[in-house]
Amino acid sequence: MSFGQGGPQWGPGGSGSQPPQWGSQTPDWAALAEASESRNRRRRWLMVGGGALATVAIGAAVAVAVVSADGDNGQAANRPASELPASSDIPPDTTGPEPSFAETSAPPPLDPKDFISSKQKDTAPLSPDILFPGSRLTMGESRYEKGKTASTKDCASAAQGTLGTVLTKNDCTRLMRVTYSLDGVAVTVGVAVFDTEAQATKAKDDSDDKSVVQSLSGDGVPEFCRSAVCRSTTNSYGRYAYFTVAGFTNGKDVTQKDTKVFSTGDDLAEFSFRQIRRRGEAQATAAANE
């Protein structure tokens, strides 16, 4: 038996019921196909929607797991301020304050001049040979031979012209002398010692062009500058005033053209200053190392 065209036709009679009518029209295949496609689309959407819901569910589960894993470490950060412990409940810092140090600075260096400006501080041994050591002196290209030395507490006895009065008036306590010579020119240096710098400065200021230290001859140096014209200088440093007198050993007068005599006197005046300053430096160094 086949369905569709050419099938049997139920006629009247029988049980009286209407027999089924098998349609003779052709099926609407396009409608069937559209219905089938509609069902397929709904199925696909259901699958996609289910996957999305599963992803959201998994994400939520991971987030819960992360929060749970934080435990107590994350709870304090998420608590409101009212639930945080009071400052009195927080354990105190037991490390203690950092150590502090008072600001310090190196002491100022000792001034060498302080040690040669008064009798109280200038206590190192003193003599002509200590102040002017050795047997000769080299200054630049000049090499001077050292002659005789002398020292006296009667300062005026080793002075000429007005210098004796100047030294006595300012309470000179000692006058040391030394002579150097080179090529017929000799110079005597006289170093007068006072108790204070003020006295030495006053002696220098009171001196004039007639205040001359007496030349010292001997030890190969003949008498000089006792009657001839010679060149003299005066200066002071600390509690010391120092004087020079320079001239020819043959008794010749010194003139402005005799530069050799001038340079000799200047060399010995410079050396005297250096030696007095070194005396102060030595005592300042010794005091700093105590």
Task: Give the confidence band of 216 by pLDDT, cuts at 50, 70, 90.
Answer: very high
252 burial type by CB count under 10 A (0-12 exposed, 13-18 middle, 19+ buried):
middle
Task: Give the confidence band of 112 by pLDDT, cuts at 50, 70, 90.
Answer: very high
Cβ atoms of residues 139 and 269 within 8 Å: no
Nearest Cα neighbor of 233 from 255, 253, 263, 257 is 263
Element (H, E) at 172: none
Q: Where are the beta strands (DSSP E) in the chain?
A: 136-139, 142-152, 159-161, 174-182, 185-193, 211-213, 231-237, 240-248
Residues 163 and 259 in one domain: yes
**Residues in a beta bridge with 149:** 178
Residues 134 and 204 in one domain: yes
Chain mean pLDDT for the chain = 79
Element (H, E) at 264: helix 259-288
Residues 124 and 189 in one domain: yes
Inside any domain, residue 106: no
The whole-number pLDDT of residue 138 equals 96
162-210: pLDDT as tens digits: 999 999 999 999 999 999 999 999 999 999 999 999 999 999 999 999 9
Parent domain of 35: 29-81
CA dist., res. 288 & res. 53, Å (int): 91
Residues 36 and 125 in one domain: no
Residues 206 and 135 in one domain: yes
Inside any domain, residue 34: yes
Average pLDDT over residues 26-45: 58
Residue 96 gets the label, from left (phi > 0), alpha (psi -120 to 50) or beta, of left
CA dist., res. 119 & res. 196, Å (int): 6
Count of C-beta atoms within a 10 Å radius of residue 234: 22
Element (H, E) at 285: helix 259-288
174 burial type by CB count under 10 A (0-12 exposed, 13-18 middle, 19+ buried):
middle
Residues 63 and 126 in one domain: no
**Residues in a beta bridge with 245:** 188, 232
Residues 181 and 266 in one domain: yes
Task: Give the confidence band of 109 by pLDDT, cuts at 50, 70, 90.
Answer: confident
Would the pLDDT of 44 be above 90?
Answer: no
Residues 140 and 283 in one domain: yes
Kindly state the tokens that stand for 261: 């005599």
Q: Where are the beta strands (DSSP E) in 27-158?
A: 136-139, 142-152
Inside any domain, residue 94: no
The number of domains in the chain is: 2
The whole-number pLDDT of residue 34 equals 63
CATH number, domain with residue 203: 3.40.1000
Q: Which of 63, 81, 99 is the C-terminal boundary of a domain?
A: 81
Rg of the chain taking only CA atoms, in angstroms: 62
Residues 141 and 252 in one domain: yes
Inside any domain, residue 234: yes
Inside any domain, residue 168: yes
Contacts of 195 (CB under 8 A, 6+ apart): 118, 119, 171, 173, 239
Evaluated on CA atoms 251, 255, 258, 259, the torsion sign reads positive
Residues 283 and 159 in one domain: yes
Inside any domain, residue 160: yes
The whole-number pLDDT of residue 48 equals 45
Residues 278 and 193 in one domain: yes
The whole-number pLDDT of residue 23 equals 41
Inside any domain, residue 86: no
Tell me the CA distances in angstroms from 105 to 5, 108, 226, one per residue in order. 126, 9, 57
Higher-pLDDT residue of 94 and 141 is 141
Inside any domain, residue 2: no
Residues 61 and 123 in one domain: no
What DSSP character marks residue 210? T
